[in-house]
């Protein structure tokens, strides 16, 4: 009798308890899906920054206030100095990214598809991958001078490896059952590569592209501060010599905005090209 009463009580209480537990989860999901949550982090950082410069007693020579940085950015934009530097930096990143992504993709395809390519290419790539790109600055200056070439090639060298590693892993991670199904449908070697292997490796390639874009901006920051007369990095170097922290912060914010914009662009490309793939969105 006691066991029967306990079971009946569980039947009555159980759904209500489940609903009460589900309410906080649903509330968290509604908060997490709010569009305003995207700007909450930057606004919080901006508030802490403003408090540090006004109430916290941080000297302007150490950290300029947000209002001063915004005014400086507006002045640099009106004078044309910031847009000109931005165009130069974008050109360097675009050329370096094109070279590096192309080289990394081709090497990964050759290494991932052909045993001879794997034995010849992969050991060399893994050896060079451990070299810090910025440590090659002196050599690149000796080899290519101090014009645009060393800066572009440094970016290309750095971005090639994330593309290679992710594309290689994507090719080797293609389900063998899909390859067998392609053979059953009459696909030859090149048909399998075109219709099965490369589409299967595309998600990994896009992940590598996101990593490469982030690394490209990081390397460019350092490359433009070495023997550069134009670009965002050169603008920041001149500001450092003149102790202009507001200009330095403008340059850093521009780099951050460019990195965020490029990442959003790749994410949009992912949603468009991988619309067929349904993955986990959130819990």
Q: What are phi and psi of 241, to 5 degrees?
A: -65, -30
Give the residue extent of every domain in the chain: 87-231
Q: CA 164 to CA 254: how far, in whole Å?
A: 28
CB atoms within 10 A of CB 247: 23
Q: What is the pLDDT of residue 9?
A: 47
Contact 244, 76 (CB under 8 A): no
Contact 262, 253 (CB under 8 A): no
Largest interatomic CA distance in the chain: 92
Q: What is the pLDDT of residue 15?
A: 52
| Of 160, 154, 161, residue with least CA distance to 222 | 154
pTM: 0.75
Q: Which residues, other chains included, contact 94 with Cβ-Cβ below 8 Å and sequence gap of 6+? A: none
Q: What is the pLDDT of residue 177?
A: 81
State the 10-residue block means of pLDDT for the chain, 283 residues long.
Answer: 46 50 52 60 78 74 80 88 89 92 92 86 87 82 82 91 91 80 77 79 88 88 77 83 84 86 85 66 47
Q: What are phi and psi of 106, to 5 degrees?
A: -65, -45
Q: CA 93 to CA 153: how far, in whole Å?
A: 10
The enclosing H or E element of 37 equals helix 37-54
Q: What is the pLDDT of residue 65?
A: 80
Contact 96, 150 (CB under 8 A): no
Asked if the 87-231 domain carries CATH number 1.10.3720.10, the reply is yes
Contact 71, 86 (CB under 8 A): no
* Chain centroid to CA 247: 25
Q: What angle do CA 232, 236, 240 make, to 5 degrees?
A: 170
| Of 120, 216, 112, residue with least CA distance to 171 | 112
Q: What is the pLDDT of residue 14?
A: 52
Q: What is the pLDDT of residue 166?
A: 92
């Amino acid at each position: 009798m006691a066991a029967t009463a306990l079971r009946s009580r569980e039947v009555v209480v159980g759904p209500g308890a489940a609903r009460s537990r589900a309410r906080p989860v649903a509330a968290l999901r509604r908060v997490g899906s709010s569009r305003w949550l995207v700007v909450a982090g930057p606004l919080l950082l901006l508030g802490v920054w403003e408090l540090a410069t006004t109430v916290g007693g941080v000297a302007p020579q150490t950290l300029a206030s947000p209002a001063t940085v915004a005014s400086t950015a507006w002045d640099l934009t009106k004078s044309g100095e910031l847009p000109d530097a931005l165009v130069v930096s974008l050109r360097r990143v675009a050329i370096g990214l094109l070279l590096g992504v192309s080289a990394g993709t081709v090497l990964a395809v050759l290494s991932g598809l052909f045993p001879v390519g794997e034995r010849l290419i992969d050991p060399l790539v893994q050896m060079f991958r451990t070299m810090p790109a910025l440590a090659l600055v002196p050599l690149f200056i000796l080899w290519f001078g101090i014009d645009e070439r060393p800066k572009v090639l440094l970016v290309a060298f750095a971005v090639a490896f994330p593309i290679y590693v992710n594309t290689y892993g994507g090719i080797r991670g293609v389900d063998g059952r899909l390859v067998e199904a392609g053979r059953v449908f009459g696909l030859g070697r090149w048909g399998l590569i075109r219709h099965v292997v490369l589409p299967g490796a595309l998600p990994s390639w896009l992940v590598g592209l996101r990593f490469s874009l982030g690394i490209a901006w990081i390397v460019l920051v350092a490359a433009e501060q070495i023997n550069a007369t134009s670009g965002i990095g050169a603008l920041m170097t001149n500001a450092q010599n003149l102790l202009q922290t507001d200009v330095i912060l403008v340059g850093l914010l521009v780099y951050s905005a460019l990195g965020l914009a490029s990442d959003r662009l790749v994410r949009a490309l992912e949603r468009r090209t991988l619309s067929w793939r349904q993955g986990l969105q959130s819990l």
